[in-house]
């Protein structure tokens, strides 16, 4: 029986980061992971492979739509789908092997297999029991389907199947206009599929700034995606080579159908805690099946901690990573901390969409007085030079103190630009602090500064 200071169950971004930090802080650490490769959903069937396909399909889109304008003549490249998938798999391999290397470097043991917790202080993997002073559950999440929808990962797929389709479908129905539906819908639309997004609500990307939602949907429509809004999917029936989606429009309860070669179910994810034995342990769950934790990520059972998608909060890799590091600090007797008010969200479409902090809607709901500084990328020279003038930066600041409360970006490199605002928010900065910071010209970042200027005496290029 091996004995550890910490055993972490799950080697996704939450678990593997937690393990590395635990080892760096001098704790004897092991990670239990049943997948063939480390990295969890994010590296194997999520963030990383989807970014490879988004990158490749964006290159094609550029060749088809913008090359000629720049004087680059000739036929746009054709798609070798097998090679594109091989490229994606190569990217996955590099990343998962990288974590294996980091484990060896930091002396983190990888216990291969699926773990369960017979009691606090013990983790069972296969027939073996391992002892640990503390256990961290980092088992992530899995797609949550809908009643009446059976996923076969061939015709009716989740994001996992959508990253490995045998061929590019001619038609694709996407159930759910959230992050996954729009990222993967974009990939297949660029590769030539007719993509129809069926969304229950009246706006895409729930919870996002309303103005961003509208602009985003308009841009995606222009890129060829169709939207059926306010539609509740009732069932999906697999036909021979296609599938049929039955949905009801919420406004009048009318019933409709749509057929597609592939149906992508992207209606959210749920915590993955099967087989851990939580019931027997008495670990408390929330109504939504998330593991309940205290301020130090400890569950209702002493010595058992939980982080990432398995607990409350946004299901984001970087949120899990931050919690992983914080728990490691707590277990090493230090002070782990996560600022949940400053967790950026990014959608990696083109243009990218990014946000942090409050939205106008959430501020109104709280009855807080705020001001808005907005700047369009049309006024940004660099953006115009690369056909990326669509979109804007919006900064929300406290009306009295000018303290930055949130930011919303739709436009080029939004996923990078947002971090300037995150750092500013971590330091409790005012919009004026950003506005007074010299920004190199010509960069997309100048749009952030201009939005900050717009919170004060006004942007220059607006
Ligand atoms: P989501 O929660 O972002 O979106 C699901 C959408 O499905 C919602 O708009 C919802 O209204 C809609 N929906 C639910 N039931 C429906 C029905 N019966 N008919 C029609 N529409 C229905 O979930 P998604 O996109 O599956 O993503 C899951 C999680 O993964 C999210 O928490 C997301 O943050 C995370 N993720 C993050 C990424 C990123 O940060 N770039 C990329 C991919 C996933």
Q: Are strands 255-260 and 115-119 parallel, antiparallel or unpaired?
A: unpaired
Predicted confidence at residue 240, as pLDDT, reads 86
Whether the predicted pLDDT of 150 surpasses 90: yes
Q: Exposed (0-12), middle (13-18) or buried (19+): which is 165, by Cβ within 10 Å?
A: buried
343-454: what CATH class? alpha beta
The residues spanned by each domain of the chain are: 3-143+270-338, 156-267, 343-454
Of the listed 65, 296, 337, 441, which one is catalytic?
441
**Does the domain made of 156-267 have the CATH classification 3.40.50.2000?**
no
Average pLDDT, the chain: 97
Cα(227) to centroid(ligand 1), Å: 15
Give the pLDDT band (50/70/90) at residue 2: confident
Cα(58) to centroid(ligand 1), Å: 22
Give the pLDDT band (50/70/90) at residue 132: very high
Secondary structure class of 10 (helix, strand, coil): coil
- Residue ranges around ligand 1 (CB below 6 Å): 146, 175-181, 183, 198-201, 206, 231-233, 266-269, 315-316, 345-348
Could you report the per-residue pLDDT of 212-256, keeping only the tens digit for each?
999 999 999 999 999 999 999 999 999 989 999 999 999 999 999
The structure tokens listed for 222 are 């222009």
Residue nearest to atom 23 of ligand 1 (CA): 268
pTM, rounded to two decimals: 0.97
- Kindly report which listed range (1-5, 73-77, 287-291) carries the lowest average pLDDT score: 1-5
Give the pLDDT band (50/70/90) at residue 441: very high
Cα(379) to centroid(ligand 1), Å: 32
Task: Report the distance separating Cα 155 and Cα 199, nearest Å.
Answer: 19
Task: Report the distance separating Cα 99 and Cα 39, nearest Å.
Answer: 7
Q: Ligand 1, closest atom to CA 247? A: 19
- From residue 450, give the alpha-carbon distance in Å to each of 103, 352, 384, 420, 438: 43, 19, 16, 13, 11
Residue nearest to atom 43 of ligand 1 (CA): 180
Cα(107) to centroid(ligand 1), Å: 37
Could you report the per-residue pLDDT of 318-360, keeping only the tens digit for each?
999 999 999 999 999 999 999 999 999 999 999 999 999 999 9
Residue nearest to atom 16 of ligand 1 (CA): 200
Could you report the per-residue pLDDT of 151-204, keeping only the tens digit for each?
999 999 999 999 999 999 999 999 999 999 999 999 999 999 999 999 999 999
Q: From 204, 235, 267, 311, give the residue whose CB has the most ligand 1 atoms within 8 Å, as the site to mutate.
A: 267
| Average pLDDT rounded to a whole number, residues 285-304 | 97
Residue nearest to atom 15 of ligand 1 (CA): 267
| Average pLDDT rounded to a whole number, residues 132-146 | 96
Task: Report the distance separating Cα 236 and Cα 257, nearest Å.
Answer: 9
DSSP code at position 138: -
- From residue 352, give the alpha-carbon distance in Å to each of 14, 288, 381: 24, 30, 18
Examine the residue annotation and report whether 441 is marked as an active-site residue of this protein. yes
Residue nearest to atom 40 of ligand 1 (CA): 346
Confirm whether 156-267 and 343-454 share one CATH topology.
Answer: no
Cα(34) to centroid(ligand 1), Å: 26
Task: Report the distance separating Cα 262 and Cα 266, nearest Å.
Answer: 13
Nearest to 344 by CA among 208, 439, 198: 208
Q: How far apart are the first and last CA of the chain?
A: 68
Q: Ligand 1, closest atom to CA 46? A: 43
> 3-143+270-338 adopts what CATH topology?
FAD/NAD(P)-binding domain (3.50.50)
């Amino acid at each position: 029986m091996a004995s550890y200071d910490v055993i972490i169950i799950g080697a996704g971004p939450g678990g593997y980061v937690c393990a590395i930090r635990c080892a760096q802080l001098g704790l004897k650490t092991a990670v239990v992971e049943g997948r063939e490769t480390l990295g969890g959903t994010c590296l194997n069937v999520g963030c990383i492979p989807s970014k490879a396909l988004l990158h490749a399909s964006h290159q094609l889109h550029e060749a088809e739509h913008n090359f000629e304008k720049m004087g680059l003549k000739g036929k746009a490249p054709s798609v070798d789908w097998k090679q594109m998938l091989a490229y994606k798999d190569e990217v996955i391999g590099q990343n998962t092997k990288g974590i294996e290397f980091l484990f060896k470097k930091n002396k983190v043991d990888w216990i291969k297999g699926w773990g369960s917790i017979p009691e606090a202080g013990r983790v069972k993997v296969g027939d073996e029991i391992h002892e640990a002073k503390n256990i961290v559950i980092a088992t992530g999440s899995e797609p949550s389907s809908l009643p009446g929808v059976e996923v076969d990962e061939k015709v009716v797929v989740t994001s996992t199947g959508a990253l490995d389709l045998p061929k590019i479908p001619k038609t694709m129905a996407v159930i759910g206009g959230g992050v996954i539906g729009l990222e993967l819908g974009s990939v297949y639309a660029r590769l030539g599929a007719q993509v129809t997004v069926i969304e229950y609500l009246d706006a895409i990307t729930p919870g996002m700034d309303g103005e961003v939602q509208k602009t985003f949907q308009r841009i995606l429509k222009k890129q060829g995606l169709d939207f059926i809004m306010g539609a509740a999917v009732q069932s999906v029936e697999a036909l021979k080579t296609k599938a049929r989606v039955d949905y009801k429009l919420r406004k009048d309860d009318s019933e409709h159908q749509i057929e597609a070669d592939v149906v992508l179910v992207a209606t959210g994810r749920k915590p993955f805690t099967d087989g851990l034995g939580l019931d027997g342990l008495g670990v408390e769950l929330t109504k939504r099946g998330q593991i309940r934790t205290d301020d130090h990520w400890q569950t209702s059972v002493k010595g058992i901690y939980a982080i990432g998608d398995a607990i409350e909060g946004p299901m984001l890799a970087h949120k899990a990573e931050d919690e992983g590091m914080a728990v490691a600090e707590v277990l090493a007797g230090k002070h782990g901390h996560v600022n949940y008010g400053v967790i950026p969200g990014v959608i990696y479409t083109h243009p990218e969409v990014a946000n942090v902090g409050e939205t106008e809607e959430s501020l109104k709901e709280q009855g807080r007085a705020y001001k808005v500084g907005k700047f369009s990328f049309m006024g940004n020279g660099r953006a115009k030079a690369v056909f990326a003038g669509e979109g804007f930066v919006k900064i929300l600041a406290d009306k009295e103190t000018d303290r930055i409360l949130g930011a919303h970006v739709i436009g080029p490199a939004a996923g990078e630009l947002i971090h300037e605002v995150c750092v500013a928010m971590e330091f409790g900065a005012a919009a004026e602090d950003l506005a007074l910071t010299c920004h190199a010209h010509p960069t997309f970042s100048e749009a952030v500064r201009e939005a900050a200027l717009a919170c004060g005496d006004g942007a220059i290029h607006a």
